[in-house]
Amino acid sequence: MHLASPVKDFLFNGFSFFARFAGNSLVFFWLARLLNEAEFGRLSFLFLLTNFALVLMDFGLYFLVLEAVLRTRYFRTAALLRVKYITSVSGFVLMGGLGLVLFALRGQVPGDYPPYVLLLFSTAMLALSQHYLYHFRVQGRYHIETIGQTFYNIGILLGIAFLAFFHAASLWTVVWVFVLLRLLMLLISKRYFSRLHLESYHPRLHWQRIAVYLKRASLYGVTALVGYALLLLDSTLMYLRFPEQLAMYQGGVRILLMVMMLTEVLTVFFLPRLHAERGDIYKRYYLVLCVMLALVVWLPLWAFPEQVIHLLYGRALEGLVQYLPYFSMVAILRIGLGFLGTLLTFHGYHRARLHALGLALIALLLAAALLMPGYGVPGLLVSVIVAYLIACAYQAWSLKRIGGYGFLSGGQAA
């Protein structure tokens, strides 16, 4: 019995998610038990910074790949690969400089900057790997991406297990595990990509043409950067103001990142299908699944924080228990932000999504400046909640303005 194509796609997306969950969330829950709190906090923050670099290196090019492949314009696909080389190098240089300034503010250049640069270099390899795999996702060949993600993330788990067995887990050894696995991921994804025979297209890529591609991708790229900056800003403030509590805070951020991966699975699956003949039905399914996800995430984090911390982190990060209800509210708002933002993108109002995130980022800065001096970490978390509330309210208002409350029961994409 053959599964229907949408079901198969969802299963492959789900399997790919579980592989990423193992390599990005489960491994950090494990590392919190293997490393001391100071090392775990530093390591998690370094990964958060390099994830921002990964978004910068992509800069919305996925949407141009989507358009090029769907229109079978392979000469443009080959050109986009060259643009990807440029954004990857540019992202490495820019984030390398930003990291140097940030670590200098805390006097941690000798300790944190060398592993950060190595991790940043491996992030450039990961960015290219993802670009190679984009083509298979767009073509509906999800199994290719699933295979690559599975080998990469299982390899990370095995590498950390190896370190744990020999009691050799440290910030540096963990970084090296990721570097080696990302190199392997690059080689595997490049091998799959070479079978598309796009190397036969050798477009002359002038600087003017590069500027055109970057301009077209900039709306999506800047939106992604601002959205991730909203996630990164509070952790950066913790790194600068409360470094002794950084590990505890990063434990909460890791839970948020896990929730964001779940939200991304739904977005990747539903966004293309909102344009289909049964788009209205998919909208309702999307809403129901997001509500269910919010309830499943909120209830244990709010009602059973001690049990959740012991399950995820063991005896480590016990100080996070008192702050987990705050993170539960942020998680719900993040799910809502993803749902509303996806509908805005579908209706062709992606710019409203950018405005919402920009307002939230400004609100977070202002609220943190007011609340952190007197209330510390709780003040920062309240600031984050306020920022996300503003973003969700603006996006909901934008959807009402373009189509009323009927956007869940009808309407066409712009």
Q: Which domain holds residue 404?
A: 230-414
Give the H or E element holding residue 151.
Answer: helix 142-165
**Entry pTM:** 0.85
Mean pLDDT over each residue of the chain, to the nearest integer? 83
Looking at the structure, tell me whether residues 4 and 115 fall in a common domain.
yes
Position 407 confidence tier, pLDDT thresholds 50, 70, 90 = very low
Residue 196: strand, helix, or coil: coil
Residues 237 and 358 in one domain: yes
The better pLDDT of the pair 242, 79 is held by: 242
**What is the percent of the chain where pLDDT is above 90?**
46
Distance between CA atoms of residues 262 and 268, nearest Å: 10
Contact present, 79 and 213 (Cβ < 8 Å): yes
pLDDT of 165 reads 92
Say if 32 falls within a structural domain: yes
Model confidence band, residue 3 (pLDDT cutoffs 50, 70, 90): very low
Is 229 exposed, middle or buried, given 0-12, 13-18 or 19+ CB atoms closer than 10 A?
middle
In a domain, 275, yes or no: yes
- Identify the pLDDT of residue 182: 94
Q: Are residues 188 and 238 in the same domain?
A: no
Q: Which residue has the higher pLDDT, 87 or 412?
A: 87
Q: Which of 139, 170, 205 is the last residue of a domain?
A: 205
Half-sphere exposure of 296 (CA within 13 A, CB side): 11
Shared domain for 123 and 268, answered yes or no, is no
Tens digit of each residue's pLDDT (9 = 90 or more) over 217-229: 787 888 888 988 9
Query: Is residue 149 very low, low, confident or very high in pLDDT (cuts 50, 70, 90)?
Result: confident
CB 74 within 8 A of CB 201: yes
Q: Are 13 and 5 in contact (CB under 8 A)?
A: no
Say what the pLDDT of residue 190 is: 83
Q: Does 245 share its domain with 192?
A: no
Residues 330 and 190 grouped into a single domain = no
Q: Is the pLDDT of residue 203 over 70?
A: no
pLDDT at 405 over 50: no
Domain count, the chain: 2
Which of 188, 205, 222 finishes a domain? 205
pLDDT of residue 218: 80
Q: Percent of the chain at pLDDT above 70?
A: 82
Whether the Cβ atoms of residue 297 and residue 331 lie closer than 8 Å to each other: yes
| Whether residue 194 sits in one domain with residue 78 | yes
The one-letter amino acid code at 261 reads M
Query: Does residue 18 sit in the same domain as residue 56?
Result: yes
pLDDT higher for 20 or 168? 168
Average pLDDT of the residues in 70-90: 74
pLDDT digits (tens, 9 = 90+) for 319-376: 899 999 999 999 999 999 989 988 888 777 888 888 999 999 999 999 999 999 999 9
DSSP assignments along 260-325, one per residue: HHHHHHHHHHHHHHTTSTTHHHHHHHHHHHHHHHHHHHHHHHHH-HHHHHHHHHTTTTGGGGGGHH
- CA 24 to chain centroid, in Å, comes to 10
Same domain, 135 and 271: no
Question: What integer is the mean pLDDT of 304-313?
Answer: 92
pLDDT tier, 100 (very low <50, low <70, confident <90, very high otherwise): very high
Is residue 146 situated within a structural domain? yes
Tell whether the model's pLDDT for residue 198 goes beyond 80. no
Tell whether the model's pLDDT for residue 236 goes beyond 50.
yes
> Tokens standing for 412?
């066409």
pLDDT attached to residue 224: 85
At residue 141 the predicted structure's pLDDT band, cuts being 50, 70 and 90, is low
Average pLDDT over residues 2-30: 63
Residues 18-36: what's their mean pLDDT? 79
**Mean pLDDT within 37-52:** 93
6-17 confidence digits (pLDDT tens): 555 556 555 666
Q: Is residue 220, in this structure, part of any structural domain at all?
A: no
Q: Dump pLDDT digits (tens) for 33-42.
A: 999 999 999 9
Indicate whether 224 belongs to any domain.
Answer: no
Residues 170 and 288 in one domain: no
Same domain, residue pair 122 and 258 = no
